[in-house]
Structure 1
Amino acid sequence: MVTCVFFHAHPDDEALLTAGTMARLSSEGHRVVLVVATAGEAGLVADGGNPGVLRRAELRSSAALLGCDRLVELGYPDSGLSGSPTGFSAHDPHEVARRLADVLHEEEARMLTSYDPNGGYGHPDHRQVHRVATLAAKLARTPILLEATVDRTWYARGLKAARVAGVKVPPDTGQVYSSSSEITHRVDVRPWLAEKRASMAAHASQASSRGGDTRTLAVLLRLPRPLFRLALGTEWYVRREMLAGSRMTHPLAELC
């Protein structure tokens, strides 16, 4: 059994991209550590109040539902989609990487997850997660780095289906997430969809619509169970070898 560290930018990112994998690893006895860079305070919340306080509480609930053994909040300001000059994305990635590497050392982690180079859909904090995790894995000599992503072909088909169903969705620029040829791990998380749905629902402030906006969590949580299973039953990763010549097996090897 090994320790696996999942690094995310904001509360609810873990629910959407890696919750099934986290629940699966936890159920199989691996130690799961969740590290989150910001409180997501720049995001909208459905019922007012202090967004950072509310979203941190939701994050703790989600982590517990997924069986996380440890939650680390780095406490950087949320950059927002426009990229605040004082936000997480503007901090020196080497400084942040040293903090993340400290966690990897403490935990003797054998695997770290981040995002693909574009941060999935281009959010500045997500791109920073990619930069930081790559540096931290090198500093800590963590053997396996997995970039959490989405199969771009699947994503395009999902947008098309949503439009047919009358759901307002962003345009498909073709530049988001990763191509099928890049993806190395397609993890079947269907037996853990109850935990994934519960993790998503824990982020209630992000699962409600306000002012007519369509929220990703709101749309996904309204899917009938067969469609939810189809849409969210797989989680995708791109594996990066951080130690030259490493032949170490890793906890996802048998899942893919």
Structure 2
Amino acid sequence: MSTIVFVHAHPDDEGTGTAGTMIRAAREGHRVVVVYCTDGDPGDVPDDLAPGETVASRRRGEAEASAAITGTARVAWLGYADSGMTGWAQNHADGVFARAEVGEAARRLADLFDEERADVVVGYDSHGGYGHPDHVMLHRATLAAVDLAATRPRYLEVTMNRDLMRQLFIAATEMGMEGFDPDLRGDDGTPMGTPEAELHWAVDLGDDVMAKREALACHASQSDVKEMLSMPVEIFPLAFGTEHYIEPGRPAGMVRGWWLDHGVGQSA
């Protein structure tokens, strides 16, 4: 069995990105660990905050609830503040993740990888899917941490299949529904996700997609999550039923399969 460490920028990012993979890995007996680099403090303020409760504490509780569904054995926090979207006032605040020194953040992550004796680490693609400052920093810090780690874990990057997203957007538009155009420029000026030609793994979730939806629903204090959950239940598997990964160093070509069954460079 393997120990797999999933590194995410904010509470709820696992719900849209890797929750299905986490669920399957945990069910098969692997140790699943999730690291959140920030506490998500600039997120939406819930109407039902209890006296003394903060947005950060609510989101930590939501992350723990999600972990119970995904089978995650440990939820770890890297200790940085949320930088907010590009252009937000938080971008320039002290202690935000996007302003961290890469080497320092990488050292924190590498120490955690070594503590867990991580066999696999999952980070983000080079622009964090859509250019969010914290997502871009996560890519840089996680990549550096893998090089620092004594365990030398296998490394993958979760991303979105831009071509599939485009197909879904066109289909939704033709049916008179609202869709999301992946060719709109993200925070860093590039389209969303990664072209299919640059992907290595497509993990079809099967029935686990509805458990993924339950994990996402744990983060319902956030308006973007509420929006995603508002789509018809029967549509959710089309949008979120496959999780896509890049594996640097692997031969070109996207394989539909379970990457834990195959080592670096092995064919499916």
Instruction: Output the TM-score relative to the length of structure 2.
Output: 0.83
**Change in CA separation of 1:237 and 1:250 when aligned onto 2, cut-off 3 Å:** closer
Structure 2 partner of 1:146: 156
Of 229, 232, 236, 2:237 maps to 229
Query: In the alignment, what sits opposite 2:44?
Result: 44
Which residue of 2 is the match for residue 212 of structure 1?
none
What is the aligned partner in structure 1 of residue 22 from structure 2? 22
Q: Which runs of 5+ in 2 are unaligned?
A: 251-257
Q: Could you tell me which amino acid in structure 2 is paired with residue 11 of structure 1? A: P
Deviation at residue 153 of structure 1 after TM alignment: 0.9
1:167 to 175, 178, 183: 178
Q: CA deviation at 1:27?
A: 0.2
- 1:156·1:172 contact (CA, 8 Å) conserved in 2? no
Give the direction of change, closer, same or farther, for the CA distance of 1:250–1:232 in structure 2 (3 Å limit): closer
Deviation per CA, 1:37-93, whole angstroms, max 9, x where unpaired?
111111223426422111111011111110001110112110000233421010001
Structure 1's unaligned 5+ residue stretches are 209-214, 243-248
Check the 8 A contact 2:169/2:179 in 1, yes or no.
no
Q: Is the deviation greater in 149-158 or in 105-114? A: 149-158
Which of 199, 203, 214 is 2:219 aligned to? Answer: 203
CA distance in 1, matches of 2:172, 2:103: 40
- List aligned pairs for 1:4-83, cutoff 5 A: 4-47=4-47, 49=49, 50-82=54-86, 83=91
Match of 1:95 in 2: 104
Q: Which residue of 1 aligns with 2:253?
A: none
TM-score normalised to the size of structure 1? 0.86
- Which secondary structure state, in structure 1, belongs to the residue aligned with residue 197 of structure 2? coil
- Could you tell me which of 165, 172, 177 is aligned with 1:155? 165
Give yes or no for contact 2:46–2:55 (8 Å, CA) kept in 1: no
Q: Deviations over 1:159-179 (max 9, x none)?
A: 344555443756723622111
Aligned alpha-carbon RMSD (Å): 2.4
- Which has the larger displacement, 109-118 or 137-146? 137-146
State the distance in 2 between where 1:184 and 1:167 align. Answer: 29
